Chain A
């Protein structure tokens, strides 16, 4: 299904790209021919991924190390992209943390950290992305929210709040940026088989699968397909949408 011409000449940034959904999205964009800046917090975490992606013979993968919780570091990262490529066409705000806790036991520190990583980073990165994108006639911002953002989930009030916030940002910026031809959409994954799910007991896991119409957990690649579409001109008239990738969990 790979189309190396779909995003040829385009420059993308994917945060949280060292594993899980972010890594799959980065791979999808490289396969479609884009130059992709993969971002991660831990120096060296992208070494192996870069080798794999650059051996695909499609686009190009590059590493950027910074903490999305640090606004100054975000600015510096965009400065690097500006100097190297003078453009940005696609921003995927994927980096996120999930710390389950009954609300009575959730610390204020955990609330602040979740807000900074999952929500404030999206606001700050969008500030810089919009200016770089506007120079070249537009772009596509893709925010990762969650089925929990709209539906809620016991033990996940803090995470759900941050992801509901991402939906508000997505719809507001879609309106604010439309005249500049910058599209802003959100992807709401259901239960995807990543490290975030690994913590579940076998019983809970089976219960989750039973609630999915298509009878299986999603894969990171299931989410990547939608990202490539939203990044491309095939989605050129789509903005302000929150699209579920959940195998029929929420219909």
Chain B
């Protein structure tokens, strides 16, 4: 069973799990800036054992889009 996406996002952005929803957007809060985005990408790649394309990293603009993009890598997050 793959780790819960909200759990991973919370850990990478150093936020409480209750603060994470699928609607949460990149750059909408100070905790999710471009530097934190790189930490999040590293966490996602490690947790789901994937290597993301640069285009997909740029396209991951919300928790919901991350979930959608991960499906391309056969990950049901």
Enumerate chain B residues within 8 angstroms of A135, measured Cβ to Cβ: 42, 45-46
> Is A127 engaged at the interface, CB distance under 8 Å to the other chain?
yes
Number of interface residues of B (CB under 8 A): 11
Decide: A131 and B35 in contact? CB cutoff 8 A: no
Decide: B45 and A131 in contact? CB cutoff 8 A: yes
Interface 1/0s, chain B 29-45, versus A by CB < 8 A?
00000010011011001
Decide: B51 and A79 in contact? CB cutoff 8 A: yes
Interface 1/0s, chain A 153-189, versus B by CB < 8 A?
0000000000000000000000000011000000000
> Is B28 engaged at the interface, CB distance under 8 Å to the other chain?
no
Number of interface residues of A (CB under 8 A): 14
Enumerate chain A residues within 8 angstroms of B49, measured Cβ to Cβ: 82, 86
Most chain B CB within 10 A, of A86, A127, A134, is at A134
- How many A-B contacts at CB < 8 Å in the complex? 27
Q: Complex formed: what's the CA distance from A127 to B46 in Å?
A: 15
For A87, the closest partner residue in chain B by CB is B46
Decide: A130 and B51 in contact? CB cutoff 8 A: no
Interface 1/0s, chain A 102-140, versus B by CB < 8 A?
000000000000000000000000011011101100000
> Is B54 engaged at the interface, CB distance under 8 Å to the other chain?
yes
Decide: B51 and A78 in contact? CB cutoff 8 A: yes
For B47, the closest partner residue in chain A by CB is A135
Enumerate chain A residues within 8 angstroms of B41, measured Cβ to Cβ: 131
Distance between B56 CB and nearest chain A CB, rounded to angstroms: 12
Distance between B19 CB and nearest chain A CB, rounded to angstroms: 22
Decide: B42 and A131 in contact? CB cutoff 8 A: yes
> Is A75 engaged at the interface, CB distance under 8 Å to the other chain?
yes
Enumerate chain A residues within 8 angstroms of B54, measured Cβ to Cβ: 127
The 6 A-B residue pairs with the shortest CB-CB distance, nearest first, are A134-B42, A135-B46, A79-B51, A131-B42, A135-B42, A82-B51
A86-B46, A130-B38 given; 9 more Cβ-contact pairs under 8 Å: A75-B53, A82-B45, A86-B49, A131-B41, A131-B45, A134-B38, A134-B39, A134-B42, A179-B35
